[in-house]
Structure 1
Amino acid sequence: MARKKTFIVVFVVAAVLIAAVTGSVYNATQHVPEFYTEALHVEPTTAHETGEVLEEQVFAFSNQVKKPRPWSLRLTDKQINSWLAADLKEKFPELLPEHIQDPRIAVKGKTLLVGCKYNGQSLNSILAVSLDCFLVEGEPNVVGIQLHNVTAGALPIPIGQLLSEIDTYAGKAEIPIRWQQRDGDPVALVTIPTTGKEIEGEIRIDALEFKDGEILLSGETIKTEEELEAEATEETQTPMASPPVSEPPAES
């Protein structure tokens, strides 16, 4: 009888502990990061207008980089979130998988925060990740993206599955990615193409900067050595115009 009572007590205590742990884990997954709550507040009346301004900026920027000249682009996280809220689903309905909804970003200091709603078979939560983005020294046009602090709500989650999904979608978009480690975190190395359709030269990124609420990108499109040599050859082969022949003065 004593053993039976002991077993019942142990069972009840174990059940209570399991329920408490399960409840704590569930509550932790339902936590909403403060930055995501703020980023979700987009005024519907101005979202489309702000999104259109962003598209105009990006379009103008894409024209800038086509010609040999310095160029720059400045975007705010509010502009990007307005576009994500008003235009992403309408203009690119197949871009995100079904279990990902309402992506938003925030730039806090030099850190980029990215969050979204995740509705999976075994988990409904807010996924968030903090990123550090930088130009890789000694590798022209290579951007490093360091991933850390990946969470579901307030609960840290293994990063392996996220890396696998990143590789999958990068492969579909034909974006080559290399992986390295930095301070114990995975770093995706993405090479920005230096040439492209209608680009008269090579793209060179000089600066990528994140500061509160803003993303700044600057660089220059420069003529290639082949283009410079071709221009020089064309100049040397072009015959110089003969000076005009002066007529003799008329007799008085």
Structure 2
Amino acid sequence: MKLSWKIAAAAFLTLLLALGGVGVYLYQAAQYVPEFYTQALEIEPAQAKETGEILEEQVFAFTNEVRKPSRWQLRLTNDQINGWLASDLEEKFPKLLPEGMHDPRIAIEERQVKLGCRFEGQQFHSVLSLEVDAYLVEDEENVVAIQIHNVSAGSLPFPLGSLLNEISRRAEEAKIPLRWQQVDGDPVALVTVPSEGDEIDGTIRIDTLELRKGEILLAGETTKTPEVESGPSEPVAPEATTDQEIKTASRPMSTLP
């Protein structure tokens, strides 16, 4: 009988040590910080303010170009985006990020964007990170696909359900047309960019979305809406326009369950 108690005590102690070891491993894994995020945080306040102002100037000029019939493009760099995130996001959009999240940063690579931010909950602190691919959907006008994968808290996998619900809720609040589909087992957000608007003198068509090393390029054109003459005469045919036809690689999609 005494031997059985000793065996039970030893087994219980072994279990406690095992659980403790797992706990330590999980804690350390949750504290892991991706290298891209560490590098993106290394920006001086003065530099962040300067590059953030450059981004705002470019975006302001871009919005004016899009409203008029013309060929347009917008090129933004890692430094500009991270500078704006560091110097302007919290001040100008204090409620944009969910509670507990702060210091978002990005790293743009070839055909991929890495995103990271700090998360501080009541009992959990970590750096959340994910990778997304962004591309135009073939055969659908002005539809941008954002494929989400490799979502992590530190080096641990992070459940997608709450993240997707939060994205859907924010899109609905902002009245952004969004629907979900699936590619290669990954959730894909399909965002439709409106082609017309009250302040737009024509029709918008996006034909280029490229993720390059350190920068993102968006390009397209705004074409004048053809006017139709009133009266018995035949309608005037629209003038032919030359569009730069850029097709992205098609990917099979199926609706998420």
Structure 1 length-normalised TM? 0.89
Residues in 1 aligned to 2:50 and 2:198: alpha-carbon distance in whole angstroms: 29
Indicate yes or no: 2:185 matched with 1:178: no
Q: Partner residue of 2:228?
A: 229
1:228 aligned partner, one-letter code: E
Q: Partner residue of 2:239?
A: none
Q: Partner residue of 1:199?
A: 200
What RMSD, in angstroms, separates the aligned Cα atoms of the two structures? 1.6
Q: How far did residue 230 of structure 1 move? A: 4.7
Q: Partner residue of 2:252?
A: none
Describe the SS at the equivalent of 1:229: coil
Q: Looking at secondary structure, tell me which structure has more helix per residue.
A: 1
Unaligned residue ranges in structure 2 (runs of 5+)? 237-257
Describe the SS at the equivalent of 1:45: helix
**Deviation beyond 4 Å, 4+ runs, structure 1:** none
1:124 aligned partner, one-letter code: H
Q: Partner residue of 2:250?
A: none
Indicate yes or no: 2:92 matched with 1:114: no
2:75 aligned partner, one-letter code: R
CA deviation string 1:170-221 (max 9, x = no partner): 1111112111110110100000011123100111000000011000000000
Residues in 2 aligned to 1:78 and 1:197: alpha-carbon distance in whole angstroms: 33
Q: Partner residue of 2:249?
A: none
Q: How many residues align?
A: 232
Q: Partner residue of 1:249?
A: none
Please say which of residues 125-134 and 159-168 is displaced more in the overlay. 159-168
Q: Give the direction of change, closer, same or farther, for the CA distance of 1:157–1:54 in structure 2 (3 Å limit).
A: same
1:42 aligned partner, one-letter code: I
Residues in 1 aligned to 2:229 and 2:220: alpha-carbon distance in whole angstroms: 24
Residues in 1 aligned to 2:217 and 2:34: alpha-carbon distance in whole angstroms: 25
CA deviation string 1:50-94 (max 9, x = no partner): 111110100000000011111000000110000000011111122
Q: How far did residue 159 of structure 1 move? A: 1.1
Q: Give the direction of change, closer, same or farther, for the CA distance of 1:4–1:230 in structure 2 (3 Å limit).
A: farther
Describe the SS at the equivalent of 1:6: helix
Indicate yes or no: 2:10 matched with 1:9: yes
- Correspondence list, 1:81-230, <5 A: 81-224=82-225, 227-230=226-229
Residues in 2 aligned to 1:200 and 1:150: alpha-carbon distance in whole angstroms: 40
Describe the SS at the equivalent of 2:64: helix
**Percent identity of equivalent pairs:** 55
Q: Partner residue of 2:40?
A: 39
Structure 2 length-normalised TM? 0.87
Q: How far did residue 97 of structure 1 move? A: 2.5
Residues in 1 aligned to 2:229 and 2:59: alpha-carbon distance in whole angstroms: 31
